[in-house]
Amino acid sequence: MLNKKEVENMIRSGLKAMGAYTPVDPAEVLTQRSEVSARQTLKLDGNENPYGCSPRVQKALAKYREYNRYPDPDQREVRRALAKYTGMKAGSIVAGAGSDDLIDIILRLFIQPGEKVINCPPTFGMYPFCTEIAGGKVVKVPRRKDFSLDIPAIKKVADKKTKLIFIASPNNPTGNQADEAEIKELLAMNLITVVDEAYVEFSGKSLIKMVPRYANLIVLRTFSKWAGIAGLRAGYGICPTNIVPYLLKIKQPYNINLAAHVAILESLKDVDYLQSTVKAMVKERDRLYQALSKIKWLKPYPSAANFILCAVRDRSAKTVYLGMQKKGIFIRYFETPELKDYIRISVGKPEDTPRIIAALKDM
Ligand SMILES: Cc1ncc(COP(=O)(O)O)c(C=O)c1O
């Protein structure tokens, strides 16, 4: 009989060695590390929508009676609704259990073991994580000091084994956007170019209209941020129409569960309401940025998303993060060499900003 060690040794070697993704912890866990009650905590580490989901979503989820059935594996109604929302063809859309799911499916579709994927850190951690799980090789091309893309370095590094590149715009955690000319330069390199627009509702600048003109462009979107349903897992990709059948074929058949299905449809019936919360967050982002700018030891970066990255000077960013946690204000700290001197703060409600600033001033 095999012993435990022998079974462990059967795990794919690449996966055994790879680092884990660091997700955000749930509020209950964070609260245990703070000195305040759950009611007094402020969760600003996941770029979530502090206003919650549309009230229509809440009602429709409670009313829905068909949870005993499997959802539609072809996502017909959801894709039709997304087509209406985006102005793109339903045949160019695939939905996923969050855009994380699409990142994973795209990599599994295109990447053979050993093929290379370009990643431009600091950026979203799921790109290298899913690449490694797919057996691909991550090639890092760090962003410049101002967090813009280093296009000449990207061009230099791409070789015959390089197949795909991820660009988040606005980028998480830096908040800046790639411009259309840069994306066009990348598209001309003939790599599968995945532009991740998770925060596009806060920036208003999208490249989806370019998808029909480029055979190698995929744009990802999510309902987690603007629509306030991160917990239900709903995202989608706008893709070249000939690629869609392959993505649909290899995804988990029921990746959009019925709660996500209901929530997507109802959110899209309440876009005006959701847009009003987006507007409130954009307004608050600018107020928070101004307030953070006044703290001498912080350097906030302008953001087109619903969070603000700040460089921490003259003190340890990790100590600030832990000190805020103690006060029940949960912000994001990344234990990576390139981000060890930074904190990221998600935008909250207007009443949250003075509390954030007072706590920071107390550090
Ligand atoms: C750039 C970016 N892409 C994708 C995601 C994941 O979104 P979802 O919740 O749809 O999986 C995030 C979440 O933080 C993100 O920052």
Per-residue pLDDT tens over the stretch 32-48: 989 989 889 999 999 99
Report how far ligand 1's centroid is from the alpha carbon of 225 (Å). 8
- Would you call 304 helix, strand, or coil by DSSP? coil
Residue 350 CA to residue 273 CA, distance in Å, equals: 18
Q: Which residues, in sequence order, are CB contacts of 147 under 8 Å at separation 6+?
A: 122, 171, 174, 176, 301
Kindly give the residue spans of alpha helices, DSSP state H, lying in 174-315.
180-187, 200-203, 244-250, 258-268, 271-293
Q: What is the pLDDT of residue 17?
A: 84
Ligand 1 pocket: which of 126, 143, 267 to mutate (most atoms within 8 A of CB):
126
pLDDT in tens, 276-332: 999 999 999 999 999 999 999 999 999 999 999 999 999 999 999 999 999 999 999
Atom of ligand 1 nearest to the CA of 103: 4
| Mean pLDDT on 344-362 | 97
Q: What is the pLDDT of residue 20?
A: 87
Atom of ligand 1 nearest to the CA of 100: 11
Report how far ligand 1's centroid is from the alpha carbon of 232 (Å). 13
Q: Whose CA is nearest to atom 7 of ligand 1?
A: 99
Atom of ligand 1 nearest to the CA of 171: 1
To the nearest whole number, what is the mean pLDDT of the chain?
96
pTM of the model as a whole: 0.97
Atom of ligand 1 nearest to the CA of 230: 9
Report how far ligand 1's centroid is from the alpha carbon of 221 (Å). 8
Question: Is-same-fold flag (4-52+272-361; 55-269)?
Answer: no
Please count the other Cβ atoms lying within 10 Å of the Cβ belonging to residue 103. 24
Atom of ligand 1 nearest to the CA of 173: 16
Q: Which two tokens stand for residue 133?
A: 């799980």
Report how far ligand 1's centroid is from the alpha carbon of 99 (Å). 6
* Residues lining ligand 1, Cβ inside 6 A: 47, 98-100, 124, 168, 172, 196, 198, 222, 224, 230, 235
Report how far ligand 1's centroid is from the alpha carbon of 213 (Å). 25
Report how far ligand 1's centroid is from the alpha carbon of 98 (Å). 7
Ligand 1 pocket: which of 49, 201, 222 to mutate (most atoms within 8 A of CB):
222
> Is the per-residue pLDDT at 54 higher than 90?
yes
Atom of ligand 1 nearest to the CA of 101: 11
Q: What is the pLDDT of residue 153?
A: 98
Atom of ligand 1 nearest to the CA of 234: 10
> Is the per-residue pLDDT at 225 higher than 90?
yes
Atom of ligand 1 nearest to the CA of 123: 1
What are the strands of the beta sheet with 192-196, ordered from one edge? 93-96, 235-238, 217-222, 192-196, 162-168, 116-119, 137-140
The ranges assigned to domains in the chain are: 4-52+272-361, 55-269
pLDDT in tens, 102-146: 999 999 999 999 999 999 999 999 999 999 999 999 999 999 999
Report how far ligand 1's centroid is from the alpha carbon of 195 (Å). 12
> Is the per-residue pLDDT at 157 higher than 90?
yes
Report how far ligand 1's centroid is from the alpha carbon of 320 (Å). 25
Whether cis (ω within 30° of 0) applies to the bond prior to 122 is: yes
Q: Whose CA is nearest to atom 2 of ligand 1?
A: 198
pLDDT in tens, 15-28: 988 888 888 888 88
CATH tag, 55-269: 3.40.640.10
Please name the helix (run of DSSP H) or strand (run of DSSP E) that holds residue 165, with its range, or none: strand 162-168
Rounded to whole angstroms, what are the CA distances from 146 to 149, 150, 223, 270? 9, 10, 28, 37
Report how far ligand 1's centroid is from the alpha carbon of 4 (Å). 36
Q: Whose CA is nearest to atom 12 of ligand 1?
A: 198
Per-position DSSP letters for 18-76, written without gaps between them: SPPP-PPPPHHHHHHTSSS-GGG-EE-SS---TT-S-HHHHHHHHH---TTSPP-TT-H
pLDDT in tens, 163-209: 999 999 999 999 999 999 999 999 999 999 999 999 999 999 999 99
Q: What is the pLDDT of residue 26?
A: 87
Report how far ligand 1's centroid is from the alpha carbon of 305 (Å). 12
Highest CATH level, class, for 4-52+272-361: alpha beta
